[in-house]
Structure 1
Amino acid sequence: MKIEQIYTGCLAQGAYYITSGNEAAIIDPLRETQPYMERLERDKVSLKYIFETHFHADFVSGHLDLSNKTGAEIIYGPNAVADFRHISATDGQEFALGNVRIKVLHTPGHTMESTTFLLIDENGKEHAIFSGDTLFIGDVGRPDLAQRAASMTKEQLAATLFHSLRDKIMILPDDVIVYPAHGAGSACGKNMSKETVSTIGEQKKLNYALRADMTESEFVKEVTDGLLPPPAYFGMNVAMNKSGIASFESVFNNGMRKIDADEFEAVTKETGALILDTRPNEIFYKGFIPQSINIGINGDFAPWVGALIADVNQPVILVIERGFEEETVTRLSRVGFDNIIGYINGGFEVWKKAGYDFDTIDRITAAAFAEKVKIGEDEVIDVRKESEYESEHLEEAYSKPLAYINDWVKDINLEKHFYLHCAGGYRSMIAASILQARGYHNFTEIEGGFNAIANTALPKTDFICQSKVLKTI
């Protein structure tokens, strides 16, 4: 028996590849199937099962492509209803894989079909669980994502999760290994550890939600407290995972279409495409195609695209650094952006050499900012998460997280200049590009963000009870 965790950092997602004898199973696969097919070929095993812990909201699964290529059965837990052939297993049902067994533990709460898969080894010992979004390392799945579909409140789902954890998972031996679907950085929980593997015993000691003396009401309160709104694309990804979708290969091939600078304008007008520039912020600000949105590939690229563009059906044209074309299209497809028109052949430099107009972002160093800014007079917008802001921030700065830019952008006064920063420049350049695309040019973005500002003599402060509320700027 062999278990391999295939962890994708940009999505904070773990898929699992299990072999026993000449058979294999894959749990919660990402959309692109080639890495799994290569493993099957390498190990000379056949894929028997594709296990899905639930209908994922944060990425599009590769279950259909894998099943079509291998003939493997797609297995969900109870309550799973989909538009394709699958097995909706019963609680306690077991599936033989070589010399081991995989047992279905129905653990609703995150969603009502959420299921934990228990691996029983060759000796009949309970070896590991693949807990999906039911149990994370240091946290549990948020109970508010499926409330509308389940016709339940988040409190009702949290109460259901409480009993799933205690009746199905906490009763397992302490040495059972825990393999979750996500780690720190995922929006599917709120307090996940950077660790991606643990044990039942360790989680009983360290996970706030698994305290032995915790009552149901305490659990519901703690699990539902402080939940941020889910990213807008989550519901669309769930729908895609329940229905038939285009193959990864067809999406990839469309996205790899090369568009000449001369035909760019016609293609953009014809398709209504959004221009997504994936170059690093350190390069983007110096020159870009007007109306471009900058979300750098070297960061939490796909989640930010999903959160800020939201509509996965939006046509997209890409501006990419040479050599990152395949990675960019692949990462977009993972979160359901299937309508990629192509990318500009030769990138921004070809556009510039052709003599077309381009824009720039007004960016200054933290040192220059420290010399120019008048604290208490000038407006400063901090687009980091609220928790980052509360930890430490520039005095008199306003907390306006990037995730909510579509809400607060309308409060900006076009006539008054302001400064913009995040932690290091990645998120503030996203915000700057969105603002400029919407006609706001009355701002300056700070290179290096708060990490650089912290090294200046500008006054800073830590937690305050309530962030300043931005009325107008």
Structure 2
Amino acid sequence: MNIKQFEYKPLAHYSYAIVSDGKMAVIDPERNPEQYYAFAKANAADIVSIIETHPHADFVSSHLEIHKKTGATIFNSKKMGADYPHRSFDEGDSIELGNIKLKAINTPGHSPDSITIVATEGTETAIFTGDTLFIGDVGRPDLREKAGNMKAKREELAEMMFDTITTKFNDLPDDAIVYPAHGAGSLCGKNLSDAASSTLGDERMGNWAFKKQPKQEFLDTILEGQPFIPYYFEFDVETNKKGADNLEPAIAKVPFAERSTAKGLIIDVRNEKTFKKGHIKGSINIQAVSENSKFETWLGSIIKPEDTFTLVIDNKEKNDILLQRVAKIGYEKMLRKVITLSGENLVKNEKLDLDDFKKNPDNYTIVDIRNKSEVENGKFFDSAISHPLNDLRDTATEIPTDKPIVVHCAGGYRSAVGSSILEKSLNGTIVYDLSDDVKDFQD
């Protein structure tokens, strides 16, 4: 069976192509479809099917764009209520792809409309589990209370997941290869392995969800300690249900200006050191320097779908790649323009006197912006007050301003974002970023 796994690391997303006898199916494609076209060409195959395991919350899919270009049929569960041309693909339905048979299993739990795709060829079996079954975990059940054609409370979905795990995979062999839609780092689950695939037998032995346990124990485990829900998740579910605009025309609409300035909500993606040397007052520093940085996740966790914003980048050469990254979560629609800075009327940040902070921590208000679950596992500073980064724009004004503020996370990336948010929200208060010096205070 010719299966290709594609990975987009910033969102820990896996998508797939299956090829047989000159025919190709794409499963859960990301926003940029070019890699699928290239793989089809390299394998002398025609893309004939696109399958969506569910309407994704954490990225925008290119299923509609691929359909428009290739004429391939889009398949998904009828429960999704998709607004684009498609064929229903539910339990009992199957697709012939060359010598491979693809059949659907309805596997609700992460969402009411989730399906798992079972691919068989001879004695080989592969299952594409979407966000239902991950390696070492299962999908979170709390994302469909406000979004999608079918809405369901988290408790209802948790019960659906229990039924799915205890009944839906029973007839599949232990040697079936499990291909999930996400790996470690995704917010679609809480304890995902960094492995890209597994076997169903290994999951039956090692995944907590498969162990024999009372139903209530399963429900308590899956409902407890789930990560926060970014603002963009609901927006992406609705976008994927409708089908996104073609990528290149969508990002081509965004104006670009060199040596410019801006007002309103400004996201500066430059390196934190460059940002601190000079930026537009009130900018928020969400770094997109590394190819693997969680830029998309934090952009969609801090900026709401009803916001509009300007993007500040280093130089014109980075314009296309940053537009592509913004578009991964559909936020090109909220992007007013992209600029490089003029160099005029920029503000600088003072550097924290680390020695004084170590000697006199009580002279500072320490703000811990890590996630709630991280704080529960242990604080770095006893006096620190917890304000998770995803809530910080809303809770900033609750922070005392009678002392200079020191912001920290676990490694430095998030504290650059958080300190810039507080600098914007608490105008006139001295705000320091502890940055990667936080490592000096970790056991």
TM-score tier after normalising by the smaller chain length: over 0.9
Shift of residue 282, structure 1, vs aligned partner? 2.3
Shift of residue 363, structure 1, vs aligned partner? 2.8
Aligned pairs for 1:54-133 within 5 A: 54-121=54-121, 123=122, 125-133=123-131
Shift of residue 142, structure 1, vs aligned partner? 0.8
Residue 320 (1) aligns with residue 320 (2): no
Work out the CA distance in 1 between the residues paired with 2:153 and 2:164. Answer: 17
User: After TM superposition, where is structure 1 displaced by more than 6 Å over at least 4 residues in a row?
Assistant: none
Work out the CA distance in 1 between the residues paired with 2:355 and 2:8. Answer: 36
Q: How many residues align?
A: 434
SS at match of 1:448: helix
Shift of residue 126, structure 1, vs aligned partner? 4.9
Work out the CA distance in 2 between the residues paired with 1:163 and 1:449. Answer: 47
Whichever residue aligns with residue 280 of structure 1, its letter is N
SS at match of 1:19: strand
Work out the CA distance in 2 between the residues paired with 1:363 and 1:251. Answer: 40
**Post-superposition CA distance 1:66-93 (Å, at most 9, x none):** 1101000011024121111111223121
Shift of residue 365, structure 1, vs aligned partner? 6.2
Q: What is residue 466 of structure 1 aligned with on the other side?
A: none
Which segment is superposed worse, 144-153 or 160-169?
144-153
Q: What is residue 279 of structure 1 aligned with on the other side?
A: 270
Aligned pairs for 1:185-204 within 5 A: 185-204=185-204
**Post-superposition CA distance 1:370-423 (Å, at most 9, x none):** 24x334x53211212233332451232223221221342121233332211112
Work out the CA distance in 1 between the residues paired with 2:54 and 2:177. Answer: 20
Q: What is residue 230 of structure 1 aligned with on the other side?
A: 229
Which segment is superposed worse, 334-343 or 297-306?
334-343
Shift of residue 450, structure 1, vs aligned partner? 2.0
Structure 2 vs 1, CA of residues 151 and 43 (structure 1 numbering), >3 Å: closer, same or farther?
A: closer
The equivalent position to 1:400 in structure 2, one of 387, 392, 401, is 387
**Mapped contact 1:137–1:192 kept (Cα < 8 A):** yes
Structure 2 vs 1, CA of residues 453 and 43 (structure 1 numbering), >3 Å: closer, same or farther?
A: same
Q: What is residue 358 of structure 2 aligned with on the other side?
A: 370
Which segment is superposed worse, 439-448 or 101-110?
439-448
Work out the CA distance in 2 between the residues paired with 1:366 and 1:102. Answer: 60
**Mapped contact 1:147–1:157 kept (Cα < 8 A):** no
Work out the CA distance in 2 between the residues paired with 1:214 and 1:338. Answer: 45
**Post-superposition CA distance 1:268-315 (Å, at most 9, x none):** 5xxxx532111111221111112211100132000100010021x533
SS at match of 2:277: coil
Q: What is residue 141 of structure 2 aligned with on the other side?
A: 143
The equivalent position to 2:365 in structure 1, one of 379, 382, 388, is 379
**Mapped contact 2:251–2:324 kept (Cα < 8 A):** yes
Structure 2 vs 1, CA of residues 152 and 315 (structure 1 numbering), >3 Å: closer, same or farther?
A: closer
Work out the CA distance in 2 between the residues paired with 1:449 and 1:137. Answer: 34
SS at match of 2:7: strand
Work out the CA distance in 1 between the residues paired with 2:383 and 2:402. Answer: 20
Aligned pairs for 1:42-57 within 5 A: 42-57=42-57
SS at match of 1:364: coil
Work out the CA distance in 2 between the residues paired with 1:184 and 1:137. Answer: 9
Q: What is residue 426 of structure 1 aligned with on the other side?
A: 413
SS at match of 1:285: helix
Which segment is superposed worse, 317-326 or 16-25?
317-326
TM-score if structure 1 supplies the norm length?
A: 0.87
What RMSD in Å do the two structures reach over aligned CA positions? 1.9
The equivalent position to 2:336 in structure 1, one of 335, 338, 341, is 341
**Post-superposition CA distance 1:123-155 (Å, at most 9, x none):** 1x3511100000011110111111345453211
Work out the CA distance in 2 between the residues paired with 1:424 and 1:164. Answer: 38
Work out the CA distance in 2 between the residues paired with 1:138 and 1:29. Answer: 23
Work out the CA distance in 2 between the residues paired with 1:415 and 1:79. Answer: 54
Work out the CA distance in 1 between the residues paired with 2:244 and 2:127. Answer: 29
Q: What is residue 439 of structure 2 aligned with on the other side?
A: 451
Work out the CA distance in 2 between the residues paired with 1:302 and 1:190. Answer: 18
Residue 169 (1) aligns with residue 169 (2): yes
Which segment is superposed worse, 445-454 or 216-225?
445-454
**Mapped contact 1:142–1:188 kept (Cα < 8 A):** yes
**Mapped contact 2:77–2:114 kept (Cα < 8 A):** yes
**Mapped contact 1:109–1:159 kept (Cα < 8 A):** yes
Shift of residue 366, structure 1, vs aligned partner? 4.3
SS at match of 2:38: helix
Work out the CA distance in 2 between the residues paired with 1:68 and 1:221. Answer: 44
Q: What is residue 305 of structure 1 aligned with on the other side?
A: 299
Which segment is superposed worse, 12-21 or 323-332?
323-332
Work out the CA distance in 2 between the residues paired with 1:151 and 1:69. Answer: 32
Work out the CA distance in 2 between the residues paired with 1:164 and 1:95. Answer: 22
Which segment is superposed worse, 434-443 or 289-298?
434-443
Shift of residue 163, structure 1, vs aligned partner? 1.1
Shift of residue 175, structure 1, vs aligned partner? 0.9
Q: What is residue 261 of structure 1 aligned with on the other side?
A: 259
TM-score if structure 2 supplies the norm length?
A: 0.93
**Post-superposition CA distance 1:88-131 (Å, at most 9, x none):** 2231211011111111011011111100000101x1x3511100
Residue 210 (1) aligns with residue 210 (2): yes
Which segment is superposed worse, 145-154 or 81-90?
145-154
Work out the CA distance in 1 between the residues paired with 2:347 and 2:189. Answer: 38
SS at match of 1:128: strand
Q: What is residue 179 of structure 1 aligned with on the other side?
A: 179
Whichever residue aligns with residue 278 of structure 2, its letter is G
**Mapped contact 2:422–2:431 kept (Cα < 8 A):** no
Unaligned runs of 5+ in 1: 455-459, 461-473
Identity %: 35
Work out the CA distance in 2 between the residues paired with 1:378 and 1:434. Answer: 18
**Mapped contact 1:24–1:47 kept (Cα < 8 A):** yes
Shift of residue 425, structure 1, vs aligned partner? 1.9
SS at match of 1:10: helix
Structure 2 vs 1, CA of residues 286 and 419 (structure 1 numbering), >3 Å: closer, same or farther?
A: same
Work out the CA distance in 2 between the residues paired with 1:93 and 1:202. Answer: 27
